[in-house]
Structure formats: C-alpha cells, structure tokens
Chain A
Amino acid sequence: MRFVLRRIAELAVVMFGLSVLIFVISRVLPGDPVRFALGPQATEEQIAQLSREMGLDQPMVVQYWRLIKGLFQGDLGVSLTTFRPIAGDLLTFLPASLELAFVGMALAIVVGVPLGVMTAVHRNKGRDFVGRALAFSGVALPVFWFALLVQMLFSFEMRIFPPLGRIDADVAPPPSVTGSFLIDSLLALDFGLFLHLLSFVVLPAIVLAASPMAMILRLLRASMLDEMGKDYVLTARANGMPRNLLIYKYMLRNAFSATLTIIGLLFGFFIGGAFIVETVFSWPGIGRYGVRALQFKDFNAIIAVTLVVGMAYAAANTLVTVLYGWLDPRLRLGGR
C-alpha cells in the first residue's frame, strides 16, 4: 500500500511539473497565436479583444491558475480554428483512437510474442535470422513511409482494403454503446457491418503495430535466451519435462516480467505513432486532431492535446509500475 501511495505521489509531482513545463513553453516561445488565428486582415482591436477573452493580458500566475482550474473542471478552452470547446472535441475523437490502439496492441502482441519465442528456441537457424531481420526492420521503419507503402499496395494497387477513414460515408455507424464501432456493431449483431469496419481498421493497425511488434520480439528473444542458460531449465530438461510445457509455461512466464518493463516505452510509441498513422489514413482520432491543431497553429488545442496526452501517458506508466510491483514483490523494496 505504501508502495502504491508513493507512486501516486510521484505521479502528482510529475503531472504538476508537466503542466508547468507546457505552460512555460507555450507562453515563453515567441510568435503571436492570436494574430495567427485571426489572420492577416485582423485589426488591432480584434486582436486585443481576443487576447482579453483568452486571458492573455493577465499576469502569468493568473493565467496558469486558470489553466489548472479549467483542467480540473474539464474545461480545456476553445479551439482557435473551430471555436468549439476542445474538451468536447477530444471526447468525440477518443473512442476511435482507443479502438485503433487496442487493435494495434493486440496485433503487436499476437505476432511479436510467438516470434520472440520461436527465434530464441531456434537460435542461429534460418527462422531466427528471418525473425531478427523483422525486428531490425520494424524499429527502423519510418511510420509515415510504411503507411504510404501499405496504402499504395493494398488499397490503390490490389484494392483489398479501403485507403482512408473509419467507415464509408454512405454506411450508417452502429448504435453507440461503447463508442468503439467494432464492438458496437457486434453488440448490434450486425456482422456484415463488423466486417466492413474491420476492413478499415486493418491497414492502420498493421502500420501502428510494426514498431512495437519488433520491440517485443527483440526483448522477448533476449530474455528467453537468458532463461535458457538458467539452472532450473537444465534441471527440468534432465528430468524429462515436455519441451513445450517448459517453454510456454515456465520460461515464457519468467521472460515476460522483463518484457513488462518496456510497456511504458510501447505506450509512447503508440501515442506518437497514432499522430502519424491517423493522419495518413484519415482516422478520426485524437492524433489527427492534434496534427491539425499543430499545422493550423491552434494554440489552445496544442496545449490541451499535449497536456492530456502527457498526463494519460504518465498515468499509464504509473499504473504499469504499480501492477509490476504487485506481480513481482521484490521490486517494492528496491529503491526506485
């Protein structure tokens, strides 16, 4: 319990620091967001008025206080391009992002874990070499390039999957229950619609999963090789334990705990990757929203997206640390 409380206290410190960091960056950096938002024809009065409405004429401390107060009230300000509340927009786009991320994460695990085990078991054979080549390629792929190649090949050339979007414009989305179109279509027992939706999610999910899959494969291979050199494996073998039971029940379980340490890194990959993948595939999620905000210099939306994404990321990492300590009590004792 003390372990959990300490992590939560640390998380609070990090979140406070993060809000200060983003606030400082957004106020200290040169450039006039208001002038940019209103365009070159804006008069000085208009600029002054919008600045006043945004509270930019107040002292820094007051501005920061308003940002934090808004954050706790779920108010992230108004977009400077659409003039709609940002918090509402983010909530609208969140389910699509989560859906894509979950499919991608599932894909990365389903492909990466067996490949990691296989390459370790068949070390230095042909299969190992193919697996490692995949691992090296996966982390070196520029996500945006891979996305375009996949789109060109499977959508434009072979016409197997649709190139853009989440659903055809003339198809009605399923009745909203969870917000995830895939799950909602299953709940509505509309399997035709499910397949239609699935065809849209396949390509972006593959692209999003490539790097994390490679990272899982590489780390799992290394830790499986580590396990192989241990005494208990030798003992189990000498006692005639079936090979598959040994590999999948005992070694994999031990190797997994090392793999858990990179989950935080994987989250980072998924969030960063989502910005690019959603943009290339026009997937209506938070990543695409964020990139648009950046490209249009939508000052308020940039701050809101960065803050929300950073906080979600920090919270997810804390959750992993807590879970990890719960799985492996030794970690609760050691300093950090």
Chain B
Amino acid sequence: MADDANVTIASGLEDGPVSKAVPTWRIALETLRKSPLSMIGLFIVVAVIFIAIFAPWIAPFPDDAGATVNFAERLQPPSWKHWFGTDIVGRDVLSRVMVGARISLMIAFFVIVLAVLIGVPIGIIAAYWGGWLGNVLMRINEVFLAIPSLVFVLAVAALLGPSLPVVIAAISLAWWTWFARLAYGEALHLKEEQFVEAARVSGASGLRIAFGEILPNLTSVLIVKITLDIGYVILLGAALGFLGLGVQPPDPEWGIMVAEGRDQLPNAWWLTTFPGLAIFLTVIGFNLLGDGLNDLLGARQ
C-alpha cells in the first residue's frame, strides 16, 4: 500500500501545471540527443518529409511518377542509373518511391488533422460536462471502437468507391475515436486539478475552461499520440492501396507498388522490396521519434 501512496504523490506532482510546462526546444533537443534511437527516428522523419516536399525536383526521373511508359528499359534490376531498378513499363522505381512519400504523408496529415479536430473536442466535452451527454458521446465512441480499424476502413472505402479523398475520409472516420478516448481520459483527470477549480471559481464559462484551460494541457500527450499514429495511418493507407481499395494507379502509392510488383515475383524482387522498405522505414522513424517524445514529455500512457 505504501507503494500506491508514493505513486499517487509522485504523479500528482507531475500533473501540476508548473512542472508540466513544455520545455523549450533547446532543452528538448538536447535531451532527445542523449537517446540515439530517438535521433535515428528524428533523422528518418526529417528525411522523409524533405523527400516528400521536394520529390518532383530531386527525383532522378520525376515524369515516371505518372502513367508514362519506356519499354526499352523495362524490368531492369538495380543499377547506377536506376538505383531501385525499373518496373514492367520501364519507370524508375526510385523516382516513384520518392513521389510516393508525398501521397502517404498527405494521407497521414489529413487523417490526423481531421481525427484531432473531431475527436479531441468530443472527448473533452464528454469528460467536462459528463452526464447524459458524456454518456451518449462515449457510447458512440465505443461503437466505433467495436470494430477493427482495418475492416471498418475497408468496408467504407469499398462502398464509397476507392480514391484518395475517400481513403482519407474512411480512415478519419475510424481514427477520431482514439483521440476522443485519449482526450476523455486526460480531461477527466485534469478536471479535478486546482487550476481548473480556480478558473471555475473566478467565473470562467464552461467553454472557456474546457478549451482555454484543459485543452492546452493536453498538448504534450497529443504530440506523442500524433507522432506514433502517423506511422499507423501510413500502414493502414498502404494496406488499402495494396488490396486495391485505396489510392488508384497510376499514382505511385507505396501499397499499390508492392501489389504491382507481386505479379513479377520472384524474378523482379526490387519492385516489391523497395516500396515496402520505404513504408517500413518511415513507420519505424515515426515510432522511434514518438517513443523519444514520450520519454521527453513524460506523457502518461
């Protein structure tokens, strides 16, 4: 029992508004630097974002991202000219992988923005006002959580007809629940804090307390969750593409590229290997960075 008491006191201190202040970026970077794994994550994430933004200019054959054909160079193994080889119609796989980073990051970006915008307010409202409203909101949340994300997203994408906006909409529809859940748990906790009590006594309105006092204190947990989730959203988007229910060809989406390379196995191994490796490394990068941020910001599980 002594253990429990200690834990409560310790976490009570951590939760205080003073010590939970977000450290300045300088301190943050210094702390992050001490963990080599987090630095690897940061490096991968920065590199992927850089490639995604500048792909059309730095890719060796930027035109190959679209529906071009170059039969003279079809199915060439990796070489100095084509580092990742070429595909069945002679397009440069490296260029397509680079442009593909745009699509995956774009899906992840819009999904996370939508999921946060829908989920976080719902979670905070459910926690702060509670009562029948909170009950109804969290029950709806549970219904959405009651079905594995991949299955739900596949069904919505198939019924709507697959395309980029549909993929984003379908994944967001599944993903807001996680943010609602997180915000709900955190806000329930923060609601009892003294600074919230103080704001209430000083006559602040409910809305002001919910979004002016509670929301800012969710920042660090949200940053960690967002970083980790970007990786999982990328995985989900790629799985949709692979099954033909996501982004459609000729867009160089990583999942589609793996699927297209599947017909050329085992001979043209580079067609499946490199786009898959791109997904794998990107997701690892976001996971490592998210884990590092988690230690840094001391977010609760």
B148 in contact (CB, < 8 A): yes
A-B contact pairs, 28 of them (CB 8 A): A17-B139, A25-B159, A26-B159, A30-B160, A31-B160, A140-B231, A140-B287, A142-B235, A142-B276, A143-B239, A145-B272, A148-B262, A148-B272, A149-B272, A151-B265, A156-B265, A156-B266, A157-B266, A267-B148, A276-B242, A276-B243, A294-B154, A294-B157, A294-B158, A297-B158, A305-B151, A309-B148, A310-B147
Given the contacts A136-B287, A295-B243, A268 and B258 also touching, CB distance less than 8 Å: no
Interface of B is mostly: helix
| Interface pair A145/B159, CB less than 8 Å apart | no
Residues in B whose Cβ lies below 8 Å from that of A306: 147, 151-152, 155
B192 in contact (CB, < 8 A): no
Residues in B whose Cβ lies below 8 Å from that of A141: 280
Given the contacts A29-B156, A142-B276, A148-B258, A18 and B147 also touching, CB distance less than 8 Å: yes
Tell me the A246-300 residues at the B interface (CB within 8 Å): 267-269, 271-272, 275-276, 279, 290-291, 294-295, 297, 299
A26 and B160 CA atoms in complex are apart in Å by: 9
Closest A residue to B231 using CB positions: A140
| Interface pair B276/A148, CB less than 8 Å apart | yes
Q: Mark B264-293, 1 if CB is under 8 A from A, else 0.
A: 011001001101100110011001100000
Residues in B whose Cβ lies below 8 Å from that of A157: 266
Number of interface residues of A (CB under 8 A): 54
Closest 10 CB pairs of A and B: A145-B276, A272-B150, A17-B143, A156-B266, A310-B147, A140-B283, A294-B158, A268-B148, A314-B146, A140-B284
Residues in B whose Cβ lies below 8 Å from that of A295: 158, 243-245
B255 in contact (CB, < 8 A): yes
A98 in contact (CB, < 8 A): no
Residues in B whose Cβ lies below 8 Å from that of A94: none
Closest A residue to B244 using CB positions: A295
| Interface pair A279/B243, CB less than 8 Å apart | yes
Contact check: which of A145, A156, A272 meets B258 at CB < 8 Å?
A145
Closest B residue to A26 using CB positions: B159
Contact check: which of A156, A231, A268, A294 meets B245 at CB < 8 Å?
A294
Closest B residue to A264 using CB positions: B145
| Interface pair B243/A294, CB less than 8 Å apart | yes
Residues in A whose Cβ lies below 8 Å from that of B66: none
Residues in A whose Cβ lies below 8 Å from that of B288: 136
Residues in A whose Cβ lies below 8 Å from that of B151: 271-272, 275, 290, 305-306, 309-310
Q: Mark B211-252, 1 if CB is under 8 A from A, else 0.
A: 000000000000000000001000100110011110000000
A331 in contact (CB, < 8 A): no
B163 in contact (CB, < 8 A): no
Tell me the B99-126 residues at the A interface (CB within 8 Å): none
> Knowing that A31-B161, A231-B2 are A-B contacts, what are 11 other residue pairs whose CB atoms are under 8 Å apart, sorted by A's residue number?
A13-B139, A137-B284, A140-B235, A140-B280, A145-B280, A152-B269, A275-B154, A276-B239, A295-B243, A310-B148, A314-B146
Q: Mark A22-65, 1 if CB is under 8 A from B, else 0.
A: 10011001110000000000000000000000000000000000
Closest B residue to A258 using CB positions: B301
A101 and B94 CA atoms in complex are apart in Å by: 36
| Interface pair A29/B243, CB less than 8 Å apart | no
Contact check: which of A20, A30, A302, A310 meets B158 at CB < 8 Å?
A302
